[in-house]
Amino acid sequence: MTLQVPLPPTWLAEAAGPEGPLTAGPPGRPVLRIDRIANAAVPTADELKRTFVQRSAGVTVREERRLETTQFVGVVLRRSQSNAPSSLLFLAAAPTQQGVVLCASLPGGSEQEIKQALAVCQSLQEGP
């Protein structure tokens, strides 16, 4: 399976091998990670959020928006830590013929870049 990843102008993508994750973002600063997982079920938005919260000790998380359709599930969160400004992030998943594609924003992106990364994930398509 090939995955078509429609990137915004000027963004670059880098793959960590044929089966490894793909990262993308403005030159020199990835803000998106995409992983393909074979034979996996699509998690719910609650499962995505719960997993993030469990792995984020000392971080306050507030849900901003939930995205759930038959072809895409995601959750947009705002996290905050003491002594740091709040930041937007998202976690998402989509079914594929062979499993699931997981998308996540990476730390360091601006809110606009995170929104662009989410749009990329919502536009992923399997190719021939």
Q: What is the DSSP string of the chain?
A: -EEE--PPTT-EEEESSSSS-EEEESTT---EEEEEEET-PPPPHHHHHHHHHHT-TT-EEEEEEEEE-SS-EEEEEEEEETTEEEEEEEEEEEEETTEEEEEEE-TT--HHHHHHHHHHHHT-EEE-
- Residue 26 has a pLDDT of 96
83: domain CATH number is 3.40.1000.10
Number of domain units in the chain: 1
pLDDT digits (tens, 9 = 90+) for 96-123: 988 999 999 998 899 999 999 999 999 9
Q: Is the pTM of this model over 0.75?
A: yes
Which residue has better confidence, 106 or 60? 106
For residue 25, what are the domain limits? 2-127
pLDDT digits (tens, 9 = 90+) for 29-52: 999 999 999 999 999 999 999 998
